[in-house]
Structure 1
């Protein structure tokens, strides 16, 4: 049965933008705590670079969110869901999961056991991703049109970009003065802000007592979080055991194996396209809780779904490739960490927010095909800016120009891309299908980003950033075909 859609009056106008800005902020903070900040924490504790590289695979978890996203479309969280509704209920559960994982990472900030550190990092990534799935599904339900999506997406990304500064700079400053435990505790509290806001909202579900709903929800969430931690620990123990038996160690290149495993579900779905296209409304394939949302995507778009998947996998590839190696390149040019930090704080934040805002605003006025083309161009120019910077004298003002260009393009293309993906999904399965598209969009780029250092050794930094910019421009080649794709009308 199709889930009930909350009334748009729950978060209209400025309230809706403020709420989604808060959701973006709450999701951006923990992401940096299990990625960039965690890598620096491990480095500070003398962990080998190869092992730190393995921890980077935690960032792949958000690309696999399609595995559990259907559960968020199908089920309510006990207590929370009954009073506040399906989507807010899952967001509140995710908030408790993020908070508990962050507390655990604070308590084990000495990294005495890397297995324990990995466990809590994975849990933090899981609950952060779950929050994003629930918030994205609610956004698509509340604001289904392109005109409505633009401002809300901009607000969400503004919050996320602000979190980049708060976690990327603020947490490190706290860690430098008060230690890693204090840094994780501070960010845990900041990331928990949406919970009391949602708890104070009026009833969205069947109503009942707020206090009873809150107590029931917290109790159920405690059980769910505990079961999730136990299952994660068990799966981790099995995976580590299998890796040891297979002889995989710190120096092993596991990228090809991970790529194959990640691509298998998508390849299987593509191979099943003829059968999917013939499936009747009562077919088990289309009615399945787990597979149904993804089968529906291929059923509606047919073989054009393969073009869509190819496009989404390449559109942000240039930005993702450039992300990890831009800072080492800049440092190698002779810029100090302080200069890089200043560029990455206010300059990057303002440029990114302007890009996001302009992209969201134009989404209410331009055709999506033209917007996607412009996004690819400005993203490419941002990457080419690093090539330009490499051939200039060391000047902090020039660093600001290159950083601003990169972050403006990243923010603009990101906002346009989110709106486009939101318009592709079926409103019956907003959580699952948006998770599927965004997960696939960053799967291949994040896997290839791990080989970025090897690529630089072969073609140099100039060649690398030229390549990343060309990949952004390559997405434009898909646009004539995308403009002709029309989703199949539902038959039931």
Structure 2
């Protein structure tokens, strides 16, 4: 068992926990937690569904990712400089949302949420490129697991903890606290080592055009894109409506949802991501992607069962536990797969393209999730989201291995340099 998890001993892998925390903190503040805030303020469920569209920058980040590959901010390195800048902007947008509140003009709230999504998506671009450049190929699934650990802890802070505290503290003050926490995280980002880099693209044209040429001339590139697009569609659609479903339809309180769906679910997802990382390190990517991806989708059926049973804590724990654990395993394999597709010279652009298209289907349909749930009923809604995994399983089964990037990254590298101040 010790050898099974030995890949987690790498220092490179360990560095990714605080980075994951910084990346995870803003996500729910423009997505799930904001939707919960809107739910509590009795905003119509159809409008809440439309707020999914503020996450569109996550789908379009590949458009400006070449700029982040081509240019760097002086003094902090090609990756870390951008990470620090975007993290400061995230803190500013979160503070502004808290200052305004959602009881005012919803158009202004949406604009601020859109701005937060833009800088958060940009932060993700450089964070993902940093992780891809830092890790050896054999460490990528394990690195994903430690990154997800930090990410999930942040989701607990902005999700579970926020829902529990929201019964006694206003959401506006919670957003102020999250802005301060994000600002404090700048210290950790400053200490993270800058990976040794290949030369940046010499011209903007090279930074924009070459990453796409490099990817699309590989055999199986279109199949790979089809898989990436379809893998998370059902999960994204279901996740958008889980909190309104549990609070409004089933009748759980905010604190109950925070404790079970957010806190317990995050712990299960962290455990699943570590197991998924170890499985991929031992058996490779293809079989785990197929098996774990299918298993993660099938767990949506458990929410359909919960719609029939009504308010039941045992059923809630079962649904959330299995869904989160399987989702954590599947995500570790999926993210490691995306990293194998990104060439190190163009890691920011290619990884941004892949992560953008990975959510484009779910984002587009997620905007209509409230309408679908209302028209179809919750049971049929969750059953349909589970079926969305079937095309992805077909694509991964026929995907040629030649589509993976031929990176000249060694399996084992010397430890990264110590960060400033150590």
Q: Under TM normalisation by the shorter chain, which class is it?
A: 0.7 to 0.9
C-alpha distance in 2, partners of 1:64/1:396?
39
5 Å matches for 1:48-447? 51-78=47-74, 82=75, 84-109=76-101, 111-145=103-137, 147-200=138-191, 287-299=205-217, 301-302=218-219, 304-331=220-247, 334-337=250-253, 338-392=255-309, 394-447=311-364
C-alpha separation in 1, matches of 2:404 and 2:11: 32
Q: Deviations over 1:47-88 (max 9, x none)?
A: 55555444331112111100111111110113xxx3x31111
Query: CA offset at residue 408 of structure 1?
Result: 1.1
Question: What's the RMSD between the two structures over aligned residues?
Answer: 2.9
Quick check: 2:294–2:389 contact (8 Å CA) kept in 1?
A: yes
Q: Is the 8 A contact 1:150 1:363 kept in 2?
A: yes
Q: Report how many residues are paired.
A: 394
- Corresponding residue SS for 1:476: helix
What residue number does 1:272 align with?
A: none
Distance 1:488 1:364, change over 3 A: closer
Conserved? CA contact 2:79–2:194, under 8 Å: no
Match of 1:274 in 2: none
After the TM superposition, which of the residue ranges 106-115 and 399-408 deviates more from structure 2?
A: 106-115
> What is the alpha-carbon distance in structure 1 between the residues aligned to residue 42 and residue 250 of structure 2?
25
Structure 1, 327-336 or 355-364: larger mean CA deviation: 327-336
**TM-score between the two structures when normalised by the length of structure 2:** 0.84
- CA spacing shift, 1:392–1:49, aligned 2, 3 Å: closer
Instruction: Tell me how far 1:158 sits from its aligned partner.
Output: 1.3
Whole-angstrom CA distance in 2 between matches of 1:179 and 1:307 = 47
Which deviates more from structure 2 when the two are superposed, residues 133-142 or residues 385-394?
Answer: 385-394
- Distance apart, 1:156 and its partner CA: 0.9
Q: 1:359·1:416 contact (CA, 8 Å) conserved in 2?
A: yes
Worse-matched range after superposition: 67-76 or 170-179: 170-179
Larger displacement relative to structure 2 (46-55 or 459-468): 46-55
Unaligned runs of 5+ in 1: 1-11, 206-283
> Structure 2: which 5+ residue stretches go unaligned?
1-7, 197-201, 408-422
Q: Tell me, yes or no, if structure 1 residue 38 matches structure 2 residue 34.
A: yes
Query: 2:365 & 2:142 partners in 1: Cα distance?
Result: 32
- Once the two structures are superposed, what CA deviation does each residue of 1:146-191 show, in whole Å capped at 9, x if it has no partner? x210111001111112222210132344454343332112111222
Higher-Rg structure is: 1
* Alignment check: 8 A CA contact 1:174 1:182 kept: no
Mapped contact 1:144–1:423 kept (Cα < 8 A) = no
Q: Is the 8 A contact 1:92 1:198 kept in 2?
A: yes
Q: Which residue of 2 aligns with 1:468?
A: 385
Q: Quick check: 1:35–1:59 contact (8 Å CA) kept in 2?
A: yes
Q: What whole-Å deviation, never above 9, does each CA across 1:352-376 have from its counterpart, x for those lacking one?
A: 1111111111121112110111122
Distance 1:92 1:332 in 2: 39
SS at match of 1:363: helix
**How far apart in 2 are the matches of 1:102 and 1:153?**
26
> TM-score with structure 1 length normalisation?
0.73
Residues 203, 357 of structure 1: CA spacing in aligned structure 2 closer, same or farther, 3 A cutoff?
Answer: closer
Q: Quick one: distance in 2 between partners of 1:148 and 1:192?
A: 29
| Counterparts in 2 of 1:117 and 1:126: CA distance versus 1, 3 Å | same
The C-alpha deviation readout for 1:435-482, integer Å capped at 9, x for no partner, is 000100100111112223343455433332222222224322122321
Measured in 2, the distance between the counterparts of 1:117 and 1:426 equals 38
Q: Higher relative CO (CA 8 A, sep ≥ 6), structure 1 or 2?
A: 2
2-structure distance, mates of 1:50, 1:158:
32
